[in-house]
Structure 1
Amino acid sequence: MAPRLRPIVLVELVVLVVFAVGVTVALGLSDDDPAPQARATATPEPPAPVDQPGVPDSTAPVVLPGRPGESARTVPADKITPAPSPSYNDADVRFVTMMIPHHEQALVMARLANGRAENPKIVAIADRILAAQAPEIQMMEGWLATRGLDRNTGDGHRHEMTGMQSADALRALENARGAAFDRMFVDMMTAHHRGAITMAEEAIALGVDAIVNETASSVGFEQAIEIERMREALAG
C-alpha cells in the first residue's frame, strides 16, 4: 500500500513549496514599496498689502467750520455723511414755469395757420407744433405737480422769457391772410423758437434734474430744426 501513496505526497510537497515561494515574493514586494508620506498642510500666508500712492486716507481728519461764534472741529473723513444731491434746483423750476406759457403762445400762433396760411408747408409746420408742444405742456405741469409746485412758482422770472410776442403782434397775425400771413408767421415763430432755445440752453447748463435736462435738449433740437423748415418753406 505504501508505494501507491507516494505520488500524492509529492504533489502536496510541490503545492507547499509553490505557496511558500508566493508568500516570500509577496512579502518582498511589500517591503520594496515606499512608505506613504504625509501631505503638507501648511496654511498659506496672507498677501502683503498693496501700496497705492495717491489714494486718500479715509480716516484722515476733515476740518468742519463751526456755527457763528463757535470753533471749527475735526472729524474723520469716514464719519462724515455726504449731503444728498438735490433732485432739482432753481434753474429747473425756472425753465419749466417759463416754458409752459411760452409753449402756450406758440400754440395760439399755430392754431391761426389753418385757414389763413397760403403755403401748405406752413400749415404742416403749424400742425407739428400743435402735436409736439401740447403734450410737452402736460408733461411739464405734471413735473411741477409731483414736486408740490405749480406754474406760478417763480413768477419773478417771467420777464426773462425771450421770444414772446406782444398782444399787438398776435392781433396783426390773426388779421393777416395768404402770403402776408406766411411771412409774418415765420418771422414771429422763428423769434419765438430762438427764445425757447436760449432758455433750453440755460436749463441744460445750470439745471440738475434729468427730466428737465431731457426736455430742454428736445426743445432746443426740435425748434432749431423747425426754424430751418420754416425758412425753406418760404424760400420754396
Structure 2
Amino acid sequence: MTSRRARTLAVVTLAVAVPLVAFMMIHLGGDTGTGAVQPVSAPVTSVASPSASPVPTDLTVIAPGRPGEPAATRAAHEVRDAGPAPHNSLDVWFVRMMIPHHAQALAMAELAPDRAADPTVRAIADRIRASQGPEMGMMRGWLQTRGLPAEVPGHDHGTMRGMQSPEAMRQLAAVRGADFDRLFVQMMTEHHRGAIEMATNLLTVGSDLTLNEFANSVATEQSVEIDRMREILDR
C-alpha cells in the first residue's frame, strides 16, 4: 500500500515538473552556465524595405502632330532629352521679326496711361503691355536656347506690315485726350493686322510646334482687340 502510494506520488510529481521545466526553457531561455537567466528574444518579423520600382521599358508617348495632322505614338526613350523642337529658317525669321514688331506695340501702349481719355483705350494698352512684354521674353529665350542671335544685320524693320514710321510715333506722343484715342486706335489696328498676317503666314510654313501655338494665339487675341478698338471709332 505504501509502495503504491509512493509510485502515484512520483507520477504526479513528474506530471507537474515536466511542463514547468518546459515552460521555463521556452520563456526564460534556461541557464547559460553563468547563473543568469537569459530572456528569449521576441521573434523578428522581417520587413522588406521599399525599393524603387524598375522603370518600364515599354512606355509610349503620344507626340502631337502639326495642325491638321494626326498624333503619333513613339517609344518613351525616343523622346527623352530630345532637346529643342525641330524648327526651320522661317520659324527663325518669324521670331526675329516679331520681337521688334512687339517692341513698337509696347512703345505705343506705354503712351496711353498719361494721354488716353477713353478708359477702353487705356484697358487695351494695359492688356498689350501685360501680354506682349512676356511674349518678347519668350521669343528671345527661344532664340537663345538654339544659340541664335536676335538681330538681323542690315534689315529695315520699318518695312514690315503694320510698323509705324518714326514721324507717326512722334505725332502719337504729341497728342492728348480724344485725339490720342483716335490716333492710337488707328495706328494699333494697323499694327495688329500686320502681326496677324505674320502669324497666319507662319501657320502655313513653320515647323516648330511651340511657335505654331504662339502664332495662333497672336492671331486670335489681336483679332479680338481689333474688334474692341473698332467699337471705339464707331461711337
What is the TM-score with the length of structure 1 in the denominator?
A: 0.61
Per the alignment, residue 96 of structure 1 pairs with 95
Residues 200-224 of structure 1, C-alpha deviations (whole Å, 9 max, x = no match): 0111110000111111111111101
Map 1:126-165 → 2, pairs under 5 A: 126-153=125-152, 156=155, 158=157, 161-165=160-164
Residue 93 of structure 2 aligns with an amino acid whose one-letter code is R
Letter in 1 for 2:190: A
Contact 1:161 1:199 in 2 (8 A): no
Provide the rounded CA distance (Å) in 1 between the counterparts of 2:136 and 2:154: 17
Shift of 1:235: 2.7
* 2:193 is aligned with 1:194: yes
Where structure 1 has 5 or more consecutive residues not aligned to the other structure, the ranges are 1-85
For 2:158 and 2:179, the matched residues in 1 are separated by 29
* Superposition pairs of residues 37-52 of structure 1, within 5 angstroms: none
Q: Match for 1:174: what amino acid?
A: A
Amino acid at match of 1:221: T
Greater Cα shift, 157-166 or 188-197: 157-166
Name the structure 1 match of 2:213: 214
Larger CA Rg, structure 1 vs 2: 1
Consecutive aligned runs of 4 or more in structure 1 exceeding 2 Å deviation: 153-160, 233-236
CA shift, 1:161, in A, is 1.8
Question: How far apart are residue 177 of structure 1 and its match?
Answer: 0.7
In the alignment, what sits opposite 2:109?
Answer: 110
| Percent identity between the two aligned chains | 55
SS in 1 for 2:115: coil
In structure 2, C-alpha distance between the alignment counterparts of 1:226 and 1:141, rounded to whole Å: 24
Describe how 1:169-188 pairs up with structure 2 within 5 A.
169-188=168-187
Distance 2:156 2:174 in 1: 31
**TM-score, length-scaled by structure 2:** 0.61
Q: Distance in 2 between matches of 1:125 and 1:177?
A: 17
Q: CA deviation at 1:90?
A: 1.2
> Once the two structures are superposed, what CA deviation does each residue of 1:88-135 show, in whole Å capped at 9, x if it has no partner?
111101110000000000000001011211101100000000000000
The amino acid that maps onto 2:221 is E
Please say if residues 94 and 157 of structure 1, whose CA atoms lie closer than 8 Å, have aligned partners that are also in contact.
no
What is the root-mean-square deviation of aligned Cα atoms in Å? 1.6
Q: Is the 8 A contact 1:92 1:209 kept in 2?
A: yes
Structure 1 residue 153, shift from structure 2 partner: 4.4
Structure 1 residue 167 corresponds to structure 2 residue 190: no
